[in-house]
Structures are given as structure tokens and as C-alpha cells.
Amino acid sequence: MSARSPGFRLACAVVLCSMLLLLDRLPRAPSLAEAKAVWPLAVKLPAAGVPVLMAQGRIPVPADTPVAHASSLLALPASHPSALLAFWFAGSSESAADVQIAASHFDRATQQWSAARFVVNRHAMAERLGFGLRRLGNPVAWRDRQGRIHLFVVATGLGGWAAARILHLRQSNRGEDFAALSFDAERVLPLSWLWNESFLVRTAPLPLKDGGMVLPVHFEMGIKYPVGLRFDASGGFLGMVRISSRKYLLQPTLLMENESSWLALMRVQCPDGKVAVAQTLDGGRSWADLPDLTLRNPDSSVAGLALAPGQMFLAHNSLANSRAVLDLSASADGRNWVLAQALAHGTGYDEYSYPALAWVDDGLWVSYTDRRQAIAWQRFSFSTATR
Amino acid sequence: MDASVISRFLISTEIPLLPGDTAMWLALHAGWAIVLGSGMLLLAGKLATAYRWSMTLLVVLWTLSPGTVSPAYWLGLAFQSPSLASDVICLGWLLRSVRRRRETAYLPPQWDPRALKILWATGIALGWCLLLDTLALFQFSLYACGFGASAFAVVLAAAASLWLLMGSAASALPLAVLALFALSRLPTGNVWDALLDPGLWLALQIGCLLSVVRRLWAARSLSAATRA
């Protein structure tokens, strides 16, 4: 058999393909089990429970940072000296070159927020990655099964927010000392063929039973569509699925109805928009659009949290064309919402926006951007009954 | 194959295998060094050989340097890493140039034009599909499929078939890229990113456009000559 004969080539191709297929298949985990979400609460709130405001204020900001925006809250376990961590981006202006990711923690002993400090700097992250990052924004935090904190941060390339990528960072220090909290760049998440551009993150992940999570993100170059990213218990990327076929929805927030059935509530970028909804019945493998909610959405981010079956909360701007009013609504089914609390009511060009929710120490915590100058917070309590 | 198998493939529930951070750092710098080095060699084509190669070497070393001084730092900011296909094509061009320089009597093998045409057309079509997929114009996510073992197997079968049918060096290019991808998972762990990057896709289209213009020009000249 000569080297150029079809028979020889066939033998070579079969051997080569077999080797390459083995090389590709063997290191992969056998299969991806269906994602099952977990409730954050081990108890059920009273059916007619109304959130009662217990405390509120502003989180201290780092010095010389007139702009603060897009906070994210991370609940910490009861054994931790801090109840929760807050992350946001701060700098001289939004999209400024000096914007960094700031953090503060709420100390259980003193019941105070700590002084804020910067934990992510674009130059340090760029050095680690080997390529430049122009701007940082929208941090979203998550804690893996080993207790390490992961941050997902928007990092722009050549262009504005529409040219952004999602940078995955992992806590690099050990221990619980906030003063030592630092992050290493893990990777830019591979989400798009087009130079990996135009995917942004904003809202909190949905924790899963296996210790992993589903991170809601969106694409926003020209059109806007939401996507769910799945991660394993150590923060390994497991895949992506589109949440909606509509092209004007962004910043999805995930609410579980049960372990496999979830809702995605989304910001709408169209005039007179209402909060949009999609639903999955198979743990995020496939999604279907549902009719919009009756809640107005002035092209503004919403934050949802499902605490227990039939107990969902949503922080949202409730005026048609302004972010001056931020409310907290409650729902039993995710479709019908009633006002539970007014969070911030301003006038004119006041902006109270980009809320985040977390359940910590039997209380519902809300943080939000306060006129783009600070991060405000509120804590609500409920009387609880054992489920 | 029943509908559920197709559905599972299309919504890609297979676990991706991603490259490590050190490998990605190295690939970014090495990839751009190869691409920029071959670009320099092409641009400096009319200079004396010694100058041409010195400048090429300089560009390669400059790109391999760490930090903000490296062009890879800024190209990575804008375009991330080049695809393995771009790397292989540019490396092939560089190596061919080295051999031509060393062996004056050496005649490089002619690229198989039929295989090149097929690869060219496939690259352009794949790029359009991936672009439309990025803009969510398909019901399923083609890019997400690229992380799975099924997509790799399908592309591998297609690449092997092309080589079996053609048997030329050009027709082995996709197989070489897939072999490198299986070994390294570079640049992102997604097979489409290994096969084609938007820069290469644009180059293929510009090349195609130039070829059409050249043919039209030649046809026009011929008809003018015939009329005369």
C-alpha cells in the first residue's frame, strides 16, 4: 500500500480520528445532570408576612470616588464573622479609566458596614490575563462549595459597554479576613465567536443543589437577549443556554418556583415596557417566553429572590419613564405582584436603581444605587414559622 | 436518531473542556507573534532578505514580550487570541518562507486549488453562520454546541472526509487544526474559535472579493482586446 493510496489514507484517517476523539472524550466528565435549584430558606414566612424595615443607610465608599453603581450582595454563612459582603464599581465617573471594584462587609459583632476598599483593579487583572481591559463594571459575587468567593465582572475591550466581556475572578487569599480579600483573574468567559464581545453580567446567580449555580447574563450589541450560564461547585464553566428568543430583553434575574421550574424576570428595552418573563421547566435546559408582567419597567434592572415556595420578592423601578421610584413587590407565583414596601421615592431626575437582594440572618437585605453617588441598603425582617 | 437526541445536541448539555490560564496566556502571545511575524514578512517582501528576516524576528520577539509593551496586550484587548487555523496558516507561510530562503532550488508544493476553494467557501459560510448565531437569529445556539464532544466529532468527520477525498496538504489543514485543538483546547475550548476567528473570516472574504474583481477585470480586458 503506497503512502498516497486511498487505502493508506483511510487507515491513517481512522487511526487519527480515533485518537483525537479519545483525546477529546476521555477528560470530559461523563454527563451533565439536570440542574436543580435550592431554596435559601429552611423556614417558611407567614403567608401574610409584611417586611418590616429594621435598618437602613449607605455603605461607606472609598475616598475620592464620586460615582458608585451596580451593587451585588453576597450572603455569608452563620459561622462567618461577617453577615454579608457588598461589591460595586466606583470611580470618578461611570466608564472612567479609574473605575475599580469596591467591597465592604457587614460585621456581625458591630452591626456596621466596614470601610470600603478596592478589591479588583483592571491593570492587575490585565497583567494576569496578558491582555488589556479598558473598563470594569457590574460585579456579581458567588461563593463556591469550598467557600471561595468568585466575582464575575464586566470588562470592556475596544468600545463601550456593548463591547464588554465577562471576566471571571476567583478569591486568591485563604481565610475570612476582609482586609486580605483579593482576587485572581480566572479567565474571560468564552461566550461569543465575535471576539467574545458584548456579554454582560448584572444579576445574582441561582444556587444549585450540586453546589454549582446558574449565572444570568445578557448579550447587548444592537439586539439584547438573555442567556443562562451554568457552573459547577468549584466555579467551572459548564455551558450556556439562551433564555428568550425576544431581542430586547436584558439583565435577567432568576426566581425558582421549584427545583426544576424557574422564572427569569427581565429588564425591557422598549417604550412603555413591562417586566418580561420566561420560564424553564427542566432546570434551565430550555426556556419559553411567557406574557409580560403588569409591572412597568423603565428600561431598568430588576432583582428577584425566591425565599421559599410561593414567596418571591422583586426590587424594581415602578414608574414608566423614570428610575426615581424603587419598590419592593411580593408574589406567590411570580406572575402576580403586589407592592410590599417602598424602597426609595425620589422626584425628577433622582435615580434609585440596580437593586440587589440577599437573605441573611432571618432578614431580607436590599442594596441599590443611590443617585449614582453611593450604595444604599435596607434590611427587612419577617416573623417566621417552621415549615 | 430521535428528536430528543437532536434537541440535546442543539442545546448543548455536554460539559466543556477549557484551556488553563497559563496555556491561554502563552497562546495569546505566541499566536499573535506568529500572525504579526508572518504579516511583517509579507509587508517587507521587497526588502533585502537579511532586513526582511531581521524585522520579522524583531516583531516576533516584541510580541512575545510580557506586559503593555507587547502588541499582543493591545490586540488581545480588541480581538482576544487568533484562532488555531490562523496560527497554522501563518506558521505554514513562515516555515515555507524559511525553506525557500535556505534552498534556492527548492520549489514549494503547489496548494491544491480545489481543496483551497472548498476550505475558503466553508470558512466564509461558517463565519456567517457564527455571526448570525451571535445575533441570535437561529433557534439554537451554534456557538454553544462548539463546546461539546458531538460538535468536535462532526467537524472531525468532515475534516477527515475532505482529506480522504482530496489527499493534498491543503486539505489536511482542518485536521491539523483539530489535532492541535484536541491536544491544547486553545484558544477558548470551543471548536469554532479554533477553526475560525472573525479576522480570518474577514480576510477570506476580502480575498474572495479581490479574486472576483481580478477575474472581472481580466474578462473585461480580454473582451476589449478581442474587440480591438
pLDDT digits over B31-61, tens only?
999 999 999 998 887 888 888 889 999 999 9
Three cell numbers, residue B18: 477549557
Over residues B120-133, the mean pLDDT reads 96
Q: Strands A82-91 and A52-59, how do they pair?
A: unpaired
Instruction: Report pLDDT for A205.
Output: 97
Which residues are registered as beta bridge partners of B81? none
Which residues are registered as beta bridge partners of A184? A170
Instruction: Report pLDDT for A4.
Output: 66
Taking all residues of chain A, what is their mean pLDDT, rounded to a whole number?
92
Least confident range from A36-50, A301-315, A351-365, B179-193: namely A36-50
Question: Over 60: is that where the pLDDT of B18 sits?
Answer: yes
CA A255 to chain centre: 12
d(CA A102, CA B170): 52
Beta carbon pairs, A and B, within 8 Å: 152
Over residues B69-73, the mean pLDDT reads 96
pLDDT digits over A256-315, tens only?
999 999 999 999 998 889 999 999 999 999 999 999 999 999 999 999 999 999 899 999
Taking all residues of chain B, what is their mean pLDDT, rounded to a whole number?
88
Q: Does the beta-carbon distance from A6 to B167 stay under 8 Å? A: yes
Instruction: Report pLDDT for A108.
Output: 94
Over residues B215-222, the mean pLDDT reads 86
Mutate to test the interface with B, among A9, A131, A172 (most CBs of B within 10 A): A131
Question: Three-state SS for A138?
Answer: strand
Over residues A218-241, the mean pLDDT reads 94
**Nearest Cβ partner of B15 from A28, A191, A286?**
A28
Are A76 and A143 spatial neighbours (Cβ–Cβ below 8 Å)?
yes
Instruction: Report pLDDT for A387.
Output: 37
**Nearest Cβ partner of A9 from B28, B163, B190?**
B163
Distance from CA of A272 to the nearest CA of B (A): 24
**Nearest Cβ partner of B193 from A127, A190, A237?**
A190
What percentage of residues in chain B have a pLDDT greater than 70? Answer: 89
Question: Over 60: is that where the pLDDT of A319 sits?
Answer: yes
Helix (H) or strand (E) holding A278: strand A276-280
Chain A contact set for B153 (CB, 8 A): 21, 24
Instruction: Report pLDDT for B106.
Output: 43
Question: Over 90: is that where the pLDDT of B100 sits?
Answer: no
Greater pLDDT, A237 or A8: A237
Give the pLDDT band of residue B98 (cuts 50, 70, 90).
confident
Q: Does the beta-carbon distance from B12 to A240 stay under 8 Å? A: yes
Q: Under 8 Å CB-to-CB from A40, ≥6 apart: which residues? A: A75, A207, A305, A307, A359
Enter the pTM of the model: 0.92
Which of B178, B191, B149 minimizes the C-alpha distance to B12? B149
Helix (H) or strand (E) holding B61: helix B49-64
pLDDT digits over A18-76, tens only?
999 999 988 887 778 899 999 987 666 666 568 899 999 999 999 889 999 999 999 99
Over residues B93-107, the mean pLDDT reads 68
- 3-state SS of A293-341? CCCECCCCCCEEEEEECCEEEEEEECCCCCCCEEEEEEECCCCCEEEEE
Question: Over 50: is that where the pLDDT of A385 sits?
Answer: no
Instruction: Report pLDDT for A2.
Output: 53
Which residues are registered as beta bridge partners of A306? A312
Question: Over 60: is that where the pLDDT of B8 sits?
Answer: no
d(CA B152, CA A370): 48
Give the pLDDT band of residue B156 (cuts 50, 70, 90).
very high
Which residues are registered as beta bridge partners of A248? A224
**Nearest Cβ partner of B72 from A131, A192, A225?**
A131
Question: Over 80: is that where the pLDDT of B104 sits?
Answer: no
Phi and psi torsions of B195, nearest 5°: -85, -30
Chain A contact set for B135 (CB, 8 A): 221-223
Q: What is the DSSP letter of B4?
A: H
What percentage of residues in chain A have a pLDDT greater than 70? Answer: 96
Question: Three-state SS for A118?
Answer: strand
A42-45 long-range CB contacts below 8 Å, 24 or more apart?
A42/A387, A43/A308, A43/A384, A43/A385, A43/A386, A43/A387, A44/A308, A44/A309, A44/A311, A44/A384, A44/A385, A44/A386, A44/A387, A45/A307, A45/A308, A45/A311, A45/A382, A45/A383, A45/A384, A45/A385
Over residues B15-25, the mean pLDDT reads 92
Instruction: Report pLDDT for B133.
Output: 95
Instruction: Report pLDDT for A51.
Output: 87
The CATH number given to A33-381 is 2.120.10.10
Question: Over 60: is that where the pLDDT of A174 sits?
Answer: yes
Question: Over 80: is that where the pLDDT of B195 sits?
Answer: yes
Question: Over 50: is that where the pLDDT of A208 sits?
Answer: yes
